[in-house]
Structure 1
Amino acid sequence: MSEKGAVTVARTVLQQCLRATLQIERGMVIYICFFKGATDDILPKMVSSLLNLRLCESDSGKMVSVAELPGSLLIVPQATLGGKCKGRAMQYHNNISKEDGLRLYGAFVSLCERELTAAAVTVKHGTYGNRQVLKLDTNGPYTHLMEF
């Protein structure tokens, strides 16, 4: 979703799932990482793009957005999405500061919750800055990378 020539300020990975622990049902997982330069201005575009993208398969086999499902959305902060390989190690110099990342992550989660209040979708989210164990069942590798 980054426009040609624009600087990437956030990266997300979307994963369709059948079930993910944190006890969510059919739905979608969003892994999210903010880079230096990210501001609140990008959040509405991210939320709109991610929640309206038709990536989920309904019971009838039709592709629908997560907002059209009875299910769940799991948001996972994933700073490792900002890593770049240097030699045999990963470096994260382009990631936003922890304080700014925490604030943007909280605002992103709140916007998702607000957008999905009318839908039959439960929003769950991980804790920013903590390692989290995630168990995920999926019906195939159906992962998408989106940059903003």
Structure 2
Amino acid sequence: MSEKESPVARTVLQQCLRASLMVKPAEEGSEAEYVQIDRGMVIYICFFKGATDEILPKMGHESSSGKIVSILDLPGSLLIVPQATLGGKAKGKAMQYHNNINKEDGLRLYEAFVALCEKELEAKENVVIKHGTYGNRQVLKLDTNGPYTHMMEF
């Protein structure tokens, strides 16, 4: 992406010792449902207008000591969290999300990204892949592994 191009996606990558994400709130007669991983990485993901399937393979990478590495090379499990608020821009005292992708295309890209990660990591032993629910409010509990957080734009 050149300096003049606007990003079409943003991710925040954060190492964790443990993470738990509510994917379905409690209802009358049923408890809330959670997905959980132990040591690994949480990937928060947001798509902007103009995002296409072509961007997906590039999104599962992070910088490590100045070198880009794939999530395939990292130890641990993966929790993928849809995070539309990563697309916010401050305007006065409020946040606006005008550059975010529409919900239908965002859901399709999110599901495709999750499927790509599952396919790429299925052969790795002791790797768990969990993901949140696109478009729903979610509650996250996270034990970080140091202040190790990276933002990437694509």
Which TM-score band applies after superposition, normalised by the shorter structure? 0.7 to 0.9
Whole-Å Cα distance in 2 between the matches of residues 70 and 118 of structure 1? 13
Q: Residue 78 of structure 2 is aligned with which of 70, 73, 77?
A: 73
Going from structure 1 to structure 2, the CA distance change for 1:44 and 1:67 (only over 3 Å counts) comes to: closer
Whole-Å Cα distance in 2 between the matches of residues 92 and 36 of structure 1? 11
Structure 1: stretches of 5+ with no match in the other structure: 56-63
Q: Deviations over 1:67-91 (max 9, x none)?
A: 3455310000000000000000000
1:46 aligned residue: 59
Answer yes or no: is the 8 Å Cα contact 1:54–1:65 preserved in 2. no
Whole-Å Cα distance in 2 between the matches of residues 32 and 14 of structure 1? 9
1:108 aligns with 2:107: no
Which is richer in strand? 2
1:30 aligns with 2:43: yes
Structure 2: stretches of 5+ with no match in the other structure: 21-34
SS of equivalent residue, structure 1 residue 23: strand
Going from structure 1 to structure 2, the CA distance change for 1:68 and 1:42 (only over 3 Å counts) comes to: closer
Going from structure 1 to structure 2, the CA distance change for 1:54 and 1:113 (only over 3 Å counts) comes to: farther
SS of equivalent residue, structure 1 residue 139: strand
Q: CA RMSD in A?
A: 1.8
SS of equivalent residue, structure 1 residue 94: coil
Which residue identity is paired with 2:140? L
4+ residue runs over 6 A deviation? none
Q: Deviations over 1:111-137 (max 9, x none)?
A: 000110111211100000001111000
Which residue identity is paired with 1:124? K
Whole-Å Cα distance in 1 between the matches of residues 45 and 149 of structure 2? 13
2:11 aligned residue: 12
1:136 aligns with 2:142: yes
Whole-Å Cα distance in 2 between the matches of residues 107 and 35 of structure 1? 15
SS of equivalent residue, structure 1 residue 131: coil
SS of equivalent residue, structure 2 residue 110: helix
Identity %: 76
Answer yes or no: is the 8 Å Cα contact 2:36–2:130 preserved in 1. no
Answer yes or no: is the 8 Å Cα contact 1:37–1:96 preserved in 2. yes
Answer yes or no: is the 8 Å Cα contact 1:85–1:91 preserved in 2. yes
Instruction: State the TM-score, normalizing by the size of structure 1.
Output: 0.84
Most deviating of 16-25 and 88-97: 16-25
Which is richer in helix? 1
Q: How many residues align?
A: 136
